[in-house]
Chains A and B, each alone.
Chain A
Amino acid sequence: MTKQVQNQVILRVDGLSKSFGKLHVLKQIDQHVNLGEVVSIIGPSGSGKSTFLRCLNLLERPEKGHIWFDGVDITKKKIDIDKHRQKIGMVFQHFNVFPNLTVLENITLAPVLEKKEPKAQAAARAETLLKQVGLLDKRDEYPRKLSGGQKQRLAIVRALAMDPEVILFDEPTSALDPEMVKDVLNVIQTLAESGMTIVIVTHEMGFAREVSDRVLFMEDGQIAEEGTPDEIFGHPKNPRTAEFLSKVL
């Protein structure tokens, strides 16, 4: 891939720990993501991948540690987290599109309300994005009329409409029927190639290998190994990584 990853850190995580009751889900994680970088997080279920991702926009509150986004420590008490979340998009496993709004309203609601974008401008932007993912003809439908793959593409467009600096994907294809996976992965791949900063938790190993600049292997609340896709998938150093990959590939 010829795309250039800049050396500017956009997300930095420092000593991140999180537990649910007695269960330590994340143990002292240090990580960073550069502007334009595509980072895949892989690992067995229950290893803390999703929790880690959800900490990045504070959907989960970490107990210990700090998260810097754009140079600002967003774990500080007095920070207006809503403002920062506007620049951190997120796409969920179960889409979470808004069933009470039309496709177009799903996309324009947050920009109009939170960024005070004029309605007409937001709608025009939404239409451009819908066209890119092949959903323009669904513009006035309600989400219940959409297939899973269409809902997920809508969710991606909804996140993009806020002009985020980074998008977090939480197993975006895990709830999809197999024949829909490709459509959604294509959209994500196009995004990745356009230079969007992406952090993605995924079980699609082929996809992770193809689009990532860096792969993190998580195990037991820690990042057990990280490296380029070739290093992780081709020559894993940690025996646990090798064992995991032998099971899923």
Chain B
Amino acid sequence: MFLENMIKIWQRYYYVFIDGLFGTLWLALITVVFGTILGTLVALMRLSRSKILYAITSVYIEVLRGTPILLQLYFFWLLLPKIVPFSMSDTTCIIVALIVNSSAYVAEVIRAGIQAVDKGQTEAAKSLGMSDGHTMRYIILPQAVKNILPALGNEFIVMVKETSLASVFFVGELMTAYKTVQSSTFLALPSLTIAGIIYLIVTFILTKLLRLLERRLQASD
């Protein structure tokens, strides 16, 4: 019965789930890409010699890592429409919230990746009279990327799952797809199981790809 229902639902609503999956992947990708850009800035501020910047970014990271992501989604969803001078869709608010949340985690990943580069590299660059900016851009960051990339892949996998919270605000993604199907079929458990299986397949594939990437990076050492 249960399996039958699942198959029936899939046959009739597969496009809803597939749409949802693309929504999820798109959300996760956008979040990680912009989260990485923002996170890099935060990490660089944290590593700069300025104590003020260090304090600000410490608070930023603590707050974002120390509060639930769902709370942050609500916060941005309520706050942003009030403070921006133009109208903002729910989806945009949620994307901003996800990016900000992700940037805190990515910032720490990047900071650790940069600090793991041998101190002798900075010293060599400085001894040649290279500026701090050039040293970072041409020597440290290219080497840090090797430490950072696998962790970013991991962040992407985490985000594939975390973005499910966006369904609370009915932003198009896989869990929202489940809600849609569930409300028109009243078959909650089979629909949920389908969504779960899709999540599992996707994260499984992504994890395997990540392992492959890690091995590649190690081989080039």
Residues of A within 8 A of B143 (CB): 99-100
Q: For window 140-164 of chain A, which residues contact chain B by CB distance below 8 Å?
A: 144, 155, 158-159, 162
What is the interface size of chain A, counting residues whose CB is below 8 A from a CB of the partner?
28
| One of B107-115, B134-142, B182-190 contacting the partner | B134-142
Q: Report the bound CA distance from A98 to B125 in whole Å.
A: 9
Q: Which of A83, A90, A98, A113 contacts B127 (CB under 8 A)?
A: A90
Residues of A within 8 A of B124 (CB): 90, 92, 96-98, 155, 158
Q: Report the bound CA distance from A83 to B129 in whole Å.
A: 6
Q: Would A59 and B126 count as touching, CB distance under 8 A?
A: yes
Q: Would B221 and A82 count as touching, CB distance under 8 A?
A: no
Distance in angstroms from A57 CB to nearest chain B CB is: 6
- B120 on interface, CB distance cutoff 8 Å: yes
Q: Would A96 and B118 count as touching, CB distance under 8 A?
A: yes
Q: Report the bound CA distance from A114 to B132 in whole Å.
A: 11
- B89 on interface, CB distance cutoff 8 Å: no
Q: Which of A83, A84, A89, A98 contacts B121 (CB under 8 A)?
A: A98
Q: Would A82 and B123 count as touching, CB distance under 8 A?
A: no
- B128 on interface, CB distance cutoff 8 Å: yes
- A110 on interface, CB distance cutoff 8 Å: yes
Q: Would A82 and B120 count as touching, CB distance under 8 A?
A: no
Q: Which of A82, A90, A109 contacts B131 (CB under 8 A)?
A: A82
Q: Which of B118, B123, B129 contacts A114 (CB under 8 A)?
A: B129
Q: Report the bound CA distance from A78 to B127 in whole Å.
A: 18
Distance in angstroms from B161 CB to nearest chain A CB is: 33
- B52 on interface, CB distance cutoff 8 Å: no
Nearest B-chain residue to A87, judged by Cβ: B129
Nearest B-chain residue to A168, judged by Cβ: B127
Distance in angstroms from B42 CB to nearest chain A CB is: 24
Q: Would A85 and B128 count as touching, CB distance under 8 A?
A: yes
- B130 on interface, CB distance cutoff 8 Å: yes
What is the interface size of chain B, counting residues whose CB is below 8 A from a CB of the partner?
18
Residues of A within 8 A of B121 (CB): 96, 98
- A88 on interface, CB distance cutoff 8 Å: yes
- A17 on interface, CB distance cutoff 8 Å: no
Distance in angstroms from A122 CB to nearest chain B CB is: 13
Q: A96-B118, A113-B134 are in contact. Are A88 and B127 (CB under 8 A)?
A: yes
Q: For window 127-165 of chain B, which residues contact chain A by CB distance below 8 Å?
A: 127-131, 134, 138-139, 142-143
Nearest A-chain residue to B118, judged by Cβ: A96
- A86 on interface, CB distance cutoff 8 Å: yes
- A209 on interface, CB distance cutoff 8 Å: no
Q: Which of B126, B128, B131, B139 contacts A162 (CB under 8 A)?
A: B128
Distance in angstroms from B221 CB to nearest chain A CB is: 7
Q: Report the bound CA distance from A162 to B128 in whole Å.
A: 7
Residues of B within 8 A of A89 (CB): 127-128
Instruction: Tell which of B126, B128, B131, B143 has the most Cβ of chain A within 10 Å.
Output: B128
Residues of A within 8 A of B123 (CB): 59, 90, 92, 96
Q: A92-B120, A96-B120 are in contact. Are A86 and B128 (CB under 8 A)?
A: yes
Q: Would B128 and A159 count as touching, CB distance under 8 A?
A: yes
Q: For window 72-113 of chain A, which residues contact chain B by CB distance below 8 Å?
A: 82-90, 92, 94, 96-101, 109-110, 113
Nearest B-chain residue to A86, judged by Cβ: B129
Q: Report the bound CA distance from A113 to B139 in whole Å.
A: 12
Residues of A within 8 A of B120 (CB): 92, 94, 96
Nearest A-chain residue to B129, judged by Cβ: A86
Q: Report the bound CA distance from A180 to B105 in whole Å.
A: 45
Q: Report the bound CA distance from A97 to B123 in whole Å.
A: 11
Residues of A within 8 A of B130 (CB): 82, 109-110, 113-114
Q: A92-B124, A96-B123, A144-B221 are in contact. Are A114 and B139 (CB under 8 A)?
A: no
Distance in angstroms from A110 CB to nearest chain B CB is: 4
Distance in angstroms from B189 CB to nearest chain A CB is: 52
Q: Would A82 and B139 count as touching, CB distance under 8 A?
A: no
Distance in angstroms from B32 CB to nearest chain A CB is: 23
Nearest A-chain residue to B139, judged by Cβ: A98
Distance in angstroms from B79 CB to nearest chain A CB is: 42
Q: For window 159-196 of chain A, which residues contact chain B by CB distance below 8 Å?
A: 159, 162
Of the A-B pairs whose beta carbons lie under 8 Å apart in the complex, a sample of 7, sorted by A's number, is: A82-B130, A83-B129, A85-B129, A90-B127, A96-B123, A110-B130, A158-B124
